[in-house]
Amino acid sequence: MSVLVNKNSKVIVQGFTGGEGTFHATQMIEYGTNVVGGVTPGKGGQSHLDKPVFNTVKEAVDKAGADTSIIFVPPAFAADAIMEAADAGIKVIICITEGIPVADMVKVKEYIKSKACRLIGPNCPGVITAGEAKVGIMPGFIFKKGRVGIVSKSGTLTYEAADQVVKQGYGISTAIGIGGDPIIGTTTKEAVELLMNDDETDAIVMIGEIGGNLEAEAARWVKADGNRKPVVGFIAGQTAPAGRTMGHAGAIVGGADDTAEAKMKILAENGIFVVESPAKIGAKVAEILG
Protein backbone atom coordinates (compact mmCIF):
# COMPACT_ATOMS: atom_id res chain seq x y z
CA MET A 1 0.00 0.00 0.00
CA SER A 2 1.27 3.47 -0.82
CA VAL A 3 -0.06 6.93 -0.13
CA LEU A 4 -1.73 9.00 -2.87
CA VAL A 5 0.47 7.93 -5.82
CA ASN A 6 2.23 4.74 -6.89
CA LYS A 7 3.54 2.94 -9.96
CA ASN A 8 -0.03 2.23 -11.10
CA SER A 9 -1.19 5.87 -10.94
CA LYS A 10 -2.22 7.12 -14.38
CA VAL A 11 -0.94 10.68 -14.38
CA ILE A 12 -1.82 13.57 -16.66
CA VAL A 13 -0.18 16.98 -16.78
CA GLN A 14 -2.44 20.03 -17.03
CA GLY A 15 -0.44 22.69 -18.83
CA PHE A 16 1.48 19.88 -20.51
CA THR A 17 2.97 21.75 -23.48
CA GLY A 18 4.06 24.86 -21.56
CA GLY A 19 7.64 25.39 -20.41
CA GLU A 20 7.14 24.28 -16.79
CA GLY A 21 4.86 21.40 -17.74
CA THR A 22 7.32 20.14 -20.34
CA PHE A 23 10.36 20.39 -18.07
CA HIS A 24 8.84 18.64 -15.08
CA ALA A 25 6.86 16.08 -17.08
CA THR A 26 10.15 15.05 -18.71
CA GLN A 27 11.70 14.49 -15.28
CA MET A 28 8.64 12.64 -14.02
CA ILE A 29 8.74 10.28 -17.00
CA GLU A 30 12.49 9.71 -16.52
CA TYR A 31 11.80 8.81 -12.87
CA GLY A 32 9.42 6.10 -14.05
CA THR A 33 6.12 7.82 -13.32
CA ASN A 34 3.24 6.46 -15.40
CA VAL A 35 2.42 9.66 -17.31
CA VAL A 36 -0.39 8.79 -19.74
CA GLY A 37 -0.69 12.19 -21.41
CA GLY A 38 -1.45 15.82 -20.84
CA VAL A 39 -4.01 18.56 -21.31
CA THR A 40 -3.58 21.76 -23.27
CA PRO A 41 -6.83 23.25 -24.63
CA GLY A 42 -6.66 23.68 -28.40
CA LYS A 43 -3.81 21.21 -28.86
CA GLY A 44 -5.80 17.99 -28.53
CA GLY A 45 -4.78 15.25 -30.94
CA GLN A 46 -1.13 16.29 -30.94
CA SER A 47 1.72 14.34 -29.37
CA HIS A 48 4.14 15.82 -26.83
CA LEU A 49 7.05 13.96 -25.19
CA ASP A 50 5.70 10.92 -27.04
CA LYS A 51 2.46 11.20 -25.05
CA PRO A 52 -1.02 12.20 -26.27
CA VAL A 53 -2.31 15.71 -25.74
CA PHE A 54 -6.00 16.17 -24.88
CA ASN A 55 -8.19 19.27 -25.01
CA THR A 56 -9.93 18.52 -21.72
CA VAL A 57 -9.33 16.52 -18.56
CA LYS A 58 -12.56 14.59 -19.22
CA GLU A 59 -11.12 13.44 -22.54
CA ALA A 60 -7.93 12.31 -20.78
CA VAL A 61 -9.99 10.35 -18.26
CA ASP A 62 -12.16 8.74 -20.95
CA LYS A 63 -9.37 7.89 -23.40
CA ALA A 64 -6.32 7.31 -21.17
CA GLY A 65 -7.94 6.27 -17.89
CA ALA A 66 -6.26 9.14 -16.02
CA ASP A 67 -6.83 9.14 -12.25
CA THR A 68 -4.14 11.59 -11.10
CA SER A 69 -3.38 15.10 -12.31
CA ILE A 70 -0.57 17.56 -11.77
CA ILE A 71 -1.27 21.20 -12.58
CA PHE A 72 1.22 23.63 -14.15
CA VAL A 73 -1.26 26.35 -15.13
CA PRO A 74 -0.83 30.13 -14.61
CA PRO A 75 -2.41 31.47 -11.39
CA ALA A 76 -5.36 33.13 -13.13
CA PHE A 77 -6.50 29.81 -14.62
CA ALA A 78 -5.41 27.36 -11.92
CA ALA A 79 -8.67 27.35 -9.93
CA ASP A 80 -10.61 26.41 -13.07
CA ALA A 81 -8.05 23.70 -13.80
CA ILE A 82 -8.53 22.18 -10.34
CA MET A 83 -12.32 22.25 -10.63
CA GLU A 84 -12.17 20.77 -14.14
CA ALA A 85 -10.08 17.87 -12.86
CA ALA A 86 -12.49 17.30 -9.96
CA ASP A 87 -15.47 17.35 -12.36
CA ALA A 88 -13.79 14.85 -14.67
CA GLY A 89 -13.35 12.27 -11.92
CA ILE A 90 -9.63 12.69 -11.17
CA LYS A 91 -8.98 11.18 -7.71
CA VAL A 92 -5.71 12.91 -6.78
CA ILE A 93 -5.17 16.51 -7.93
CA ILE A 94 -1.74 18.01 -7.27
CA CYS A 95 -1.48 21.75 -7.91
CA ILE A 96 2.05 23.16 -8.17
CA THR A 97 0.97 26.68 -9.19
CA GLU A 98 1.80 29.46 -6.76
CA GLY A 99 0.16 32.86 -6.55
CA ILE A 100 -3.44 31.68 -6.92
CA PRO A 101 -5.72 34.40 -5.48
CA VAL A 102 -7.10 33.46 -2.06
CA ALA A 103 -10.64 34.25 -3.23
CA ASP A 104 -10.22 31.65 -6.00
CA MET A 105 -9.07 29.02 -3.52
CA VAL A 106 -12.04 29.73 -1.23
CA LYS A 107 -14.31 28.81 -4.17
CA VAL A 108 -12.23 25.74 -5.05
CA LYS A 109 -12.21 24.42 -1.48
CA GLU A 110 -16.00 24.69 -1.27
CA TYR A 111 -16.52 23.28 -4.77
CA ILE A 112 -14.49 20.09 -4.31
CA LYS A 113 -16.13 19.19 -1.00
CA SER A 114 -18.81 17.29 -2.91
CA LYS A 115 -16.32 15.60 -5.26
CA ALA A 116 -14.59 12.27 -4.72
CA CYS A 117 -11.10 13.72 -4.99
CA ARG A 118 -8.16 14.85 -2.89
CA LEU A 119 -6.33 18.10 -3.60
CA ILE A 120 -2.66 18.55 -2.68
CA GLY A 121 -1.46 22.15 -2.76
CA PRO A 122 -1.48 24.66 -4.31
CA ASN A 123 1.99 26.20 -4.11
CA CYS A 124 3.53 22.84 -3.28
CA PRO A 125 6.33 20.58 -4.52
CA GLY A 126 3.97 17.64 -5.06
CA VAL A 127 4.00 14.03 -3.92
CA ILE A 128 6.57 11.28 -4.40
CA THR A 129 6.33 7.61 -3.53
CA ALA A 130 9.99 6.67 -3.68
CA GLY A 131 10.95 4.30 -6.47
CA GLU A 132 7.43 4.33 -7.92
CA ALA A 133 6.02 7.72 -8.88
CA LYS A 134 7.14 11.33 -8.73
CA VAL A 135 4.20 13.66 -9.27
CA GLY A 136 5.84 16.97 -8.56
CA ILE A 137 8.96 19.08 -8.92
CA MET A 138 11.21 17.49 -6.29
CA PRO A 139 14.68 16.13 -7.23
CA GLY A 140 13.85 12.44 -7.55
CA PHE A 141 17.38 11.11 -6.99
CA ILE A 142 17.29 12.13 -3.32
CA PHE A 143 14.34 9.88 -2.50
CA LYS A 144 15.43 6.28 -1.92
CA LYS A 145 12.75 3.74 -1.08
CA GLY A 146 12.17 3.07 2.60
CA ARG A 147 9.66 3.31 5.41
CA VAL A 148 9.78 6.93 6.60
CA GLY A 149 6.97 9.26 5.49
CA ILE A 150 7.36 13.03 5.18
CA VAL A 151 4.73 15.77 5.46
CA SER A 152 5.97 19.30 4.85
CA LYS A 153 4.84 22.85 4.15
CA SER A 154 8.27 23.60 2.68
CA GLY A 155 9.61 22.19 -0.56
CA THR A 156 13.31 22.64 0.17
CA LEU A 157 12.99 21.23 3.70
CA THR A 158 11.21 18.19 2.24
CA TYR A 159 14.29 17.47 0.14
CA GLU A 160 16.63 18.19 3.05
CA ALA A 161 14.75 15.82 5.36
CA ALA A 162 14.68 13.07 2.74
CA ASP A 163 18.40 13.44 2.09
CA GLN A 164 19.19 13.18 5.81
CA VAL A 165 16.96 10.14 6.35
CA VAL A 166 18.56 8.36 3.39
CA LYS A 167 22.09 9.21 4.60
CA GLN A 168 21.22 7.61 7.95
CA GLY A 169 20.54 4.35 6.11
CA TYR A 170 16.76 4.64 5.98
CA GLY A 171 14.51 5.60 3.09
CA ILE A 172 11.26 7.29 2.19
CA SER A 173 7.84 5.69 1.71
CA THR A 174 5.90 8.74 0.51
CA ALA A 175 6.72 12.44 0.86
CA ILE A 176 3.80 14.88 0.69
CA GLY A 177 4.43 18.58 0.14
CA ILE A 178 1.16 20.16 1.27
CA GLY A 179 1.99 23.74 0.25
CA GLY A 180 2.37 26.95 2.17
CA ASP A 181 -0.68 28.99 1.12
CA PRO A 182 -3.40 30.09 3.57
CA ILE A 183 -5.96 27.81 1.89
CA ILE A 184 -4.77 24.38 0.82
CA GLY A 185 -6.52 21.18 -0.12
CA THR A 186 -4.97 18.66 2.26
CA THR A 187 -3.93 19.78 5.75
CA THR A 188 -0.98 18.62 7.82
CA LYS A 189 -3.27 16.46 9.95
CA GLU A 190 -4.89 14.82 6.92
CA ALA A 191 -1.50 14.04 5.37
CA VAL A 192 -0.14 12.66 8.66
CA GLU A 193 -3.28 10.54 8.99
CA LEU A 194 -2.69 9.03 5.54
CA LEU A 195 0.85 8.02 6.52
CA MET A 196 -0.22 6.84 9.98
CA ASN A 197 -2.60 4.41 8.29
CA ASP A 198 -0.05 3.26 5.70
CA ASP A 199 1.29 -0.26 6.25
CA GLU A 200 4.57 0.65 4.56
CA THR A 201 5.39 3.65 6.78
CA ASP A 202 7.06 3.10 10.18
CA ALA A 203 7.79 6.72 11.17
CA ILE A 204 6.76 10.19 10.05
CA VAL A 205 8.66 13.47 9.69
CA MET A 206 6.37 16.50 10.03
CA ILE A 207 7.81 19.85 8.94
CA GLY A 208 5.85 23.02 9.62
CA GLU A 209 6.42 26.72 10.00
CA ILE A 210 5.13 29.69 11.93
CA GLY A 211 1.62 30.79 11.05
CA GLY A 212 -1.68 28.97 11.36
CA ASN A 213 -2.57 26.00 13.54
CA LEU A 214 -2.10 23.08 11.15
CA GLU A 215 0.81 21.52 13.03
CA ALA A 216 -0.86 21.83 16.43
CA GLU A 217 -4.01 20.24 15.02
CA ALA A 218 -1.96 17.37 13.61
CA ALA A 219 -0.04 16.85 16.86
CA ARG A 220 -3.23 16.68 18.92
CA TRP A 221 -4.66 14.16 16.47
CA VAL A 222 -1.50 12.01 16.73
CA LYS A 223 -1.83 11.90 20.51
CA ALA A 224 -5.58 11.19 20.38
CA ASP A 225 -4.83 8.40 17.91
CA GLY A 226 -2.54 6.77 20.47
CA ASN A 227 0.86 7.81 19.05
CA ARG A 228 0.87 4.63 16.95
CA LYS A 229 4.00 5.61 15.04
CA PRO A 230 6.82 7.95 16.06
CA VAL A 231 6.61 11.45 14.58
CA VAL A 232 9.63 13.75 14.33
CA GLY A 233 8.65 17.42 14.17
CA PHE A 234 10.42 20.60 13.08
CA ILE A 235 9.02 24.15 12.93
CA ALA A 236 10.71 26.67 10.64
CA GLY A 237 10.79 30.37 11.53
CA GLN A 238 12.25 30.19 15.03
CA THR A 239 14.33 33.31 14.50
CA ALA A 240 11.60 35.36 12.82
CA PRO A 241 10.72 38.65 14.55
CA ALA A 242 7.29 38.64 16.23
CA GLY A 243 4.52 39.28 13.75
CA ARG A 244 6.73 38.69 10.72
CA THR A 245 5.24 37.18 7.56
CA MET A 246 7.49 34.49 6.10
CA GLY A 247 7.98 33.69 2.43
CA HIS A 248 4.96 31.43 2.37
CA ALA A 249 1.62 33.17 2.24
CA GLY A 250 0.34 30.91 5.01
CA ALA A 251 3.12 31.80 7.44
CA ILE A 252 1.54 34.81 9.06
CA VAL A 253 2.01 34.91 12.81
CA GLY A 254 -1.28 35.45 14.58
CA GLY A 255 -0.32 36.10 18.22
CA ALA A 256 1.53 34.85 21.26
CA ASP A 257 0.51 31.22 20.70
CA ASP A 258 1.56 31.34 17.08
CA THR A 259 5.34 31.50 17.43
CA ALA A 260 7.69 28.68 16.51
CA GLU A 261 8.49 28.19 20.21
CA ALA A 262 4.81 27.87 21.13
CA LYS A 263 4.19 25.41 18.32
CA MET A 264 7.20 23.29 19.29
CA LYS A 265 5.90 23.17 22.86
CA ILE A 266 2.49 21.95 21.69
CA LEU A 267 4.14 19.30 19.51
CA ALA A 268 6.29 18.05 22.39
CA GLU A 269 3.30 17.96 24.76
CA ASN A 270 1.56 15.64 22.31
CA GLY A 271 4.37 13.15 22.04
CA ILE A 272 6.10 14.48 18.92
CA PHE A 273 9.91 14.18 18.89
CA VAL A 274 10.77 17.84 18.28
CA VAL A 275 14.14 18.88 16.83
CA GLU A 276 15.32 22.48 17.00
CA SER A 277 17.26 22.39 13.74
CA PRO A 278 16.49 20.77 10.39
CA ALA A 279 20.06 19.42 10.50
CA LYS A 280 18.97 17.05 13.29
CA ILE A 281 16.00 15.44 11.54
CA GLY A 282 17.89 12.46 10.11
CA ALA A 283 19.75 11.71 13.34
CA LYS A 284 16.51 11.81 15.34
CA VAL A 285 14.81 9.40 12.93
CA ALA A 286 17.78 7.03 13.21
CA GLU A 287 17.76 7.31 17.01
CA ILE A 288 14.05 6.41 17.19
CA LEU A 289 14.08 3.61 14.63
CA GLY A 290 17.50 2.28 15.60
The residue from 248, 251, 264, 285 that is catalytic is 248
**Calpha distance 123→270 (Å, rounded):** 28
Closest CA to 124 of 141, 136, 116, 115: 136
Whether 48 is catalytic: no
**Calpha distance 126→135 (Å, rounded):** 6
C-beta separation of 128 from 134 below 8 A: yes
**Calpha distance 62→59 (Å, rounded):** 5
Q: Specify the pairing of strand 172-177 against strand 145-152.
A: parallel
Residues sharing a CB contact under 8 Å with residue 265, sequence separation 6 or more, in sequence order: none
Q: Specify the pairing of strand 51-54 against strand 35-39.
A: parallel
**Calpha distance 79→208 (Å, rounded):** 25
**Calpha distance 35→39 (Å, rounded):** 12
Name the phi and psi angles at 210, rounded to 5: -60, 155
Element (H, E) at 19: helix 19-31
**Calpha distance 273→169 (Å, rounded):** 19
**Calpha distance 258→244 (Å, rounded):** 11
What is the C-alpha R_g of the chain?
18
Collapsing DSSP to helix, strand or coil, 45 comes out as: coil
Residues sharing a CB contact under 8 Å with residue 110, sequence separation 6 or more, in sequence order: none
Active site residues: 248
